[in-house]
């Protein structure tokens, strides 16, 4: 899985999880959505401490996560790296 596919999957997840359409995920929205996905690929970090994961925070965390998961640095996530 390349970065574009990774970001596309995360974007789709965010859109479906953001039930109220405010471009931010509350703790409840995130937990509800993660219950069905149950993978770290869709996690987010609340960088500004407002109790929400804004879209830009979600994107930033996704880029950091991709780099962390890409253990061999080849720009692709193998099934093993996604485990």
Q: Is the pLDDT of residue 7 over 70?
A: yes
User: What was the pLDDT predicted at 3?
Assistant: 92
pTM: 0.79
Place 36 in a pLDDT band, splitting at 50, 70 and 90. Answer: low
Question: Residue 28 in 3-state DSSP?
Answer: helix
- Report domain 3-82's class: mainly alpha
Count of alpha carbons within 13 angstroms of residue 6, beta-carbon side: 27
Residues of the chain with pLDDT > 70, as a percent, come to 96
When pLDDT is averaged across residues 61-78 and rounded to a whole number, the result is 93
When pLDDT is averaged across residues 7-31 and rounded to a whole number, the result is 93
Which has more confidence, 36 or 19? 19
Inter-helix orientation angle 3-17/27-37, to 10°: 120
Domains of the chain, residue spans: 3-82
């Amino acid at each position: 899985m390349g970065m574009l596919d990774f970001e596309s999957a995360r974007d789709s997840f965010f859109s479906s999880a953001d039930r109220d359409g405010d471009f931010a995920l509350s703790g409840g929205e995130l937990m509800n959505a993660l219950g069905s996905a149950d993978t770290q690929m869709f996690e987010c970090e609340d960088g500004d401490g407002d109790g929400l994961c804004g879209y830009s925070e979600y994107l930033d965390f996704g880029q950091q996560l991709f780099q962390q998961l890409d253990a061999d640095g080849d720009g692709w996530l193998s099934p093993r790296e996604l485990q």
